[in-house]
Amino acid sequence: MPTPSSVRLRIGYACGALVTGAFTTLPGLLLLPYLTDTLGVGAALAGCVVLIPKAWAVLLTPLAGRAGDRTHARRGSRRRHILTGGLGAAAGFAAMLAGVTDGAAGAAWTGLGFLLTATAFAFFQAAYAALPADLADSPRERTRLVGGRVAGIAVAALTIGSAGPAIADADGGSLAGHRWAGLFGAAVMAAGALAVAFGPAHTRPAHTRPAAPPAPPPHPARRTAPTPHAGSPCCARSPPSPPCCAPRPSRWPPPAACSPRDRTSPNTSCTTPT
C-alpha cells in the first residue's frame, strides 16, 4: 500500500506535466492560424517559424541533459534547471503571442519568442525526465513516477488544448485574444515548474545508494610441490604411487661432448660418449 509521502511525491512530480502538456499542445494549435490569419503572413513563412524552433529543441535537449548532469554532480539537485527552464519557457510563451505588430515583423517576433520557449523547455525537460532516478531507489517506484507523468501529460494536453483555443477565439481570434491565450499558457507552465521545483519532488531527502562491497584480495599464486624423482625416499613405500616416483627430469640443454683436452680436466661437465 503506498504511503502518504509516496503519493505526495508522485503528485508533486506529475505537476511538471503541465509544462510539457502546454508546450507540446498549444503551439501546434495556435501558431499556424495565428501567423496566417491574425498576422497575415504566408504559409511558407509560418511553417518555417513553427519548424525551426521545434528542430532546435530536438538538437538541444541532449546537450541540456549533459549540462543538467554536471550541475547535479556539483550541487546534488536539478532544481536550478527545472526552475529556470520552466519559468523561461513561460516567459517565452507569453512573448510569443504578445502580438506587438503584424506582417513579417510580427512573424519574426513570434519566431524569436518560440525559439526562446523551445530553448528553455529543452533544459526543463532534460532535468525533469531525469528526476525519477534521483527520487526513487526501486525500479517499481520509478515506474510509478513515470506513469504518473505520462498520465499527467495526457490530462494536461486535453485540458490545455481545449482551453487555449477557446480563450484565443473568445475575441474573434484577434491579437488581444491571443495575448490572453499566451498569458494562460505562461501561467500554466510557471505553475508546473514551481510545483516541481519547490514541491515534494525536491523536499524529499536524497536517497543514498549502498556502497559496493570491497573487492576481495587476490589469491596468492598456488605453489605446487615438486614431484619426487625415482631416487626419493617416498619411492621406498610399498607400493609407491605413480606421481611419487616420476622419473628424474632430464637435463636441458644436454651437456656437450668432451673433447680430448677436456677429458683430462677434473672439473669438466661434459660427457664422454660411450
CB 14 within 8 A of CB 152: yes
Q: Is the pLDDT of residue 1 over 50?
A: no
* pLDDT, position 3: 57
Name the band, by pLDDT with cuts 50, 70 and 90, for residue 209: very low
Q: Is the pLDDT of residue 176 over 80?
A: yes
* pLDDT, position 224: 52
Does 133 or 181 have the greater pLDDT score? 181
The structure's pTM equals: 0.68
Average pLDDT score over residue span 138-162? 89
The full DSSP string for 153-204 is HHHHHHHHHHHHHHHHHTTTS-HHHHHHHHHHHHHHHHHHHHHHHHSHHHHS
Cell of 182: 499566451
Q: Is the pLDDT of residue 234 over 90?
A: no
Residue 52: burial class (beta carbons within 10 Å; 0-12, 13-18, 19+) = middle
Name the band, by pLDDT with cuts 50, 70 and 90, for residue 78: confident
The tens digit of pLDDT for each residue in 251-267 reads 555 555 566 565 555 55
Q: Is the pLDDT of residue 2 over 80?
A: no
CA-to-CA distance for 157 and 61, rounded, in angstroms?
A: 21
